[in-house]
Amino acid sequence: MSMHITAKPGEIAERILLPGDPLRAKYIAETYFEEPECVSELRGAYCFTGKYKGERVSVLGTGMGIPSVLIYTTELCTEYGCERLIRTGTAGGYDYSLKLGDIVLSQATCTTSALNDHIFKGHFAPIADFSLLRSAYDIALEKNMRVFVGNTICNDHLYTDERGYDPRVWADYGVIAAEMEAAALYTVAARYRKKALTIMTVVVDAAAELGSREDMKDESLQISTDERQNGLDDMIILGLETLIS
């Protein structure tokens, strides 16, 4: 049985949202679920199961970074039979056309992580499930959401030495946004033949993400902490609608 999720067999739905912030998982369940039930809270990683528009769904807060997501998604796939996994997270924009609050659908993800280097002799390319990606895009357009689809970058480091990693290089090659979990989600989904998608809200815009450390401190270029935890409703609704589509 799972070492990190205390839900009993059958208590987690086959369709699940995966925000990084456990308190966002709680917000999603309390705001959007019918009859939400907390089925696991070990290590503060809240997991709720309920119904959305009559369909059974779950939400679990995975924490930040690739190792944490690897653990939770592997156990969800192997121990709880999850079939559709949608990450609802936040991103820094690398494309100057992106604005704060815009939604990004990660079609594929580059990564600075070595998570797959010990498995493959070459370089594995983690990608989204096309059916979920297409559904999410169509739903977003129907709801008049500002949505962008493209290649993203999954980083191990949030704060980097300016002499090393340069986000402008990735941006030059068409990478539109950065986050820290999608490569893990897509890799696990590929291994266990599950459907996965990463949906993100831009919370830091390109001017800050591609600029200096002083730019990163400019509050006008970021969405507030409270909004990240308890808002981002367009993304949440899009994730739920895609789960049940």
Distance of CA 196 to the CA centre of its chain: 10
- Number of helices and strands in the chain (H, E): 9, 9
Q: What is the pLDDT of residue 78?
A: 96
Q: What is the DSSP secondary-structure string of 109-168?
A: EEES--TTTTT-SS----B--HHHHHHHHHHHHHTT--EEEEEEEE-S-SS--TTS--HH
CA atoms within 13 A on the CB side of 159: 4
Catalytic pick from 21, 117, 161, 215? 215
CA distance 222 to 50: 32
Burial of 154: CB neighbours in 10 Å, binned 0-12, 13-18, 19+: buried
In the residue annotation, 21 being an active-site residue is answered as: no
CA distance 60 to 73: 10
pLDDT in single tens digits along all 245 residues of the chain: 678 899 999 999 999 999 999 999 999 999 999 999 999 988 889 999 999 999 999 999 999 999 999 999 999 999 999 999 999 999 999 999 999 999 999 999 999 998 888 888 889 999 999 999 999 999 999 999 999 999 999 998 877 665 667 888 899 999 999 999 999 999 999 999 999 999 999 998 876 667 655 545 555 556 666 655 555 899 999 999 999 99
CA distances from 220 to 131, 167, 195, 225 (A): 36, 20, 36, 13
CA distance 22 to 25: 5
Q: What is the pLDDT of residue 42?
A: 86
Q: What is the pLDDT of residue 224?
A: 62
> What's the pTM?
0.91
